[in-house]
């Protein structure tokens, strides 16, 4: 075909029709949309307001169906740019789960990795691989790939937490397996707090060698996280881009707790306005304490405790804290790092 033929010429259209019949497509029509100079994404910045919307709606779900009926009573936080896809970012799913007093979310396991970040309530539990993990607000609890887990609430108050799972990533890889437990509740085979004592006290059992790709510690209690952030903020100056930002680590490797989900916590001192920062990982955030706002590109998101918000990757972020504020966040950064794709950039001036 000669170069003078216009892209929408009848000859080309006829040729494209012949290609389609053979399950072929012309790269030259899509190359620039596929291999972009910079990330281009349908993911939008969005906030779910906990007090105004999330709490009431998840409580209404509690009136409409039991945890037993639902298996997991969760409202999925769908990115407005990916409607109907059960995705908060392209790789991660976030949801808000409610367990009412006396309920059990039955035992199962799946290849998707999960974490819970506790928003409200105190003293319900998740059992992970036969170890009961007590839940307090701000605690981070992991249920790694293929580990048995069930949740229960023997307290008098509702318990609400943020779930983050790599459901969209595992779906894309067509690597989902799941299995129901034999019993509704796992029998506990290890005492409360066992994995924390065994693996999180800077001492390992002498012959223990880490085999799993996930942290042997299933609970990162807020008490310790808060103490660490408070001490660091007393003893030094905040980073201009991050405030006091820490990553949760697997003590056996220094790496992330889960191979597919990176987790972070940061303290933003009152009236700090961070300098613009961007990285390629779209991020799910929740505010643990305090208030502030995040500018993500042209969008301004005001947040307070328990609000959840998502920001796309490669978008300039600046955080402003109106009181001392703490943000938890999760992203697919470990996946991008494993593939050599992760990038970050620090801006010099406030936008
Ligand atoms: O608690 O096991 O939000 O299996 C989605 C799938 C939570 C869970 C979710 C799950 C769970």
Model confidence pLDDT, tens digit, residues 108-162: 999 999 999 999 999 999 999 999 999 999 999 999 999 999 999 999 999 999 9
Q: Choose among 83, 73, 161: nearest CA to 117.
A: 161
Q: Is the pTM of this model over 0.75?
A: yes
Residue identifier of the C-alpha nearest atom 4 of ligand 1: 72
Q: Given the CA of residue 108, which atom of ligand 1 is nearest to it?
A: 2
Return the H-helix or E-strand segment holding 192. Answer: none
163-196 pLDDT, tens per residue?
999 999 999 999 999 999 999 999 999 999 899 9
Q: How far is the CA of 72 from the centre of ligand 1 (A)?
A: 6
Considering the domain delimited by 46-346, tell me its CATH architecture. Answer: Sandwich (2.60)
Cα 81 to Cα 316: distance, rounded to the nearest angstrom: 18
Q: Given the CA of residue 116, which atom of ligand 1 is nearest to it?
A: 1
Q: How far is the CA of 110 from the centre of ligand 1 (A)?
A: 9
Residues 6 or more apart from 94 whose CB is under 8 A from it? 76, 77, 88, 162, 163, 164, 284, 308, 310, 330
The DSSP symbol for 115 reads E
Q: How far is the CA of 155 from the centre of ligand 1 (A)?
A: 21
Hey, which of 54, 72, 145 would you mutate to test ligand 1's pocket, going by the most ligand atoms within 8 Å of its Cβ? 72
Q: How far is the CA of 163 from the centre of ligand 1 (A)?
A: 7
pLDDT value of residue 76: 98
Q: How far is the CA of 104 from the centre of ligand 1 (A)?
A: 13
Domain ranges of the chain: 46-346
Q: How far is the CA of 168 from the centre of ligand 1 (A)?
A: 13
pLDDT value of residue 190: 92
Q: How far is the CA of 78 from the centre of ligand 1 (A)?
A: 15
Backbone angles phi, psi at 233, to 5 degrees: -75, -25
Band the pLDDT of 8: cuts 50, 70, 90: confident
Residues with CB under 6 A from ligand 1: 72, 74, 95, 97, 110, 114, 149, 163, 165
Residue identifier of the C-alpha nearest atom 10 of ligand 1: 72
Residue identifier of the C-alpha nearest atom 11 of ligand 1: 72
């Amino acid at each position: 075909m000669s170069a003078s033929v216009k892209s929408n010429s009848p000859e080309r259209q006829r040729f494209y029709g012949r290609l389609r019949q053979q399950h072929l497509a012309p790269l030259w029509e899509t190359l620039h949309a596929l291999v972009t100079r910079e990330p281009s994404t349908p993911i939008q910045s969005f906030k779910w307001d906990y007090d105004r919307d999330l709490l009431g709606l998840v409580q209404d779900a509690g009136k409409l169906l039991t945890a037993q009926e639902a298996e997991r009573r969760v409202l999925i936080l769908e990115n407005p740019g990916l409607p109907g896809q059960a995705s908060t970012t392209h790789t991660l799913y976030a949801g808000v789960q409610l367990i009412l007093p006396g309920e059990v979310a039955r035992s199962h396991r799946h290849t998707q990795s999960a974490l819970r970040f506790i928003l409200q309530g105190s003293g319900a539990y998740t059992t992970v691989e036969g170890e009961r993990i007590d839940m307090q607000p701000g605690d981070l609890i992991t249920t790694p790939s293929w580990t048995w887990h069930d949740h229960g609430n023997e307290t008098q108050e509702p318990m609400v937490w943020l779930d983050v799972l790599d459901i969209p990533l595992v779906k894309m890889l067509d690597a989902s397996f799941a299995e129901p437990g034999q019993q509704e509740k796992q029998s506990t085979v290890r005492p409360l707090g066992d994995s924390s004592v065994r693996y999180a006290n800077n001492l390992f059992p002498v012959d223990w060698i880490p085999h799993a790709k996930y942290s042997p510690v299933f609970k990162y209690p807020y008490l310790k996280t808060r103490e660490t952030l408070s001490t660091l903020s007393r003893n030094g100056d905040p980073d201009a881009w991050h405030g006091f930002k820490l990553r949760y680590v697997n003590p056996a490797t220094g790496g992330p707790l889960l191979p597919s989900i990176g987790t972070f916590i940061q303290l933003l001192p009152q009236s700090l306005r961070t300098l613009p920062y961007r990285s390629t990982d779209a991020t799910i955030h929740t505010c643990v304490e305090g208030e502030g706002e995040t500018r993500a590109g042209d969008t301004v998101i005001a947040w307070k405790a328990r609000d959840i918000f998502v920001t796309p990757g490669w978008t300039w972020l600046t955080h402003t804290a109106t009181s001392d504020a703490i943000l938890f966040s999760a992203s697919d950064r470990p996946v991008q790092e494993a593939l050599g794709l992760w990038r970050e950039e620090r801006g010099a001036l406030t936008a």
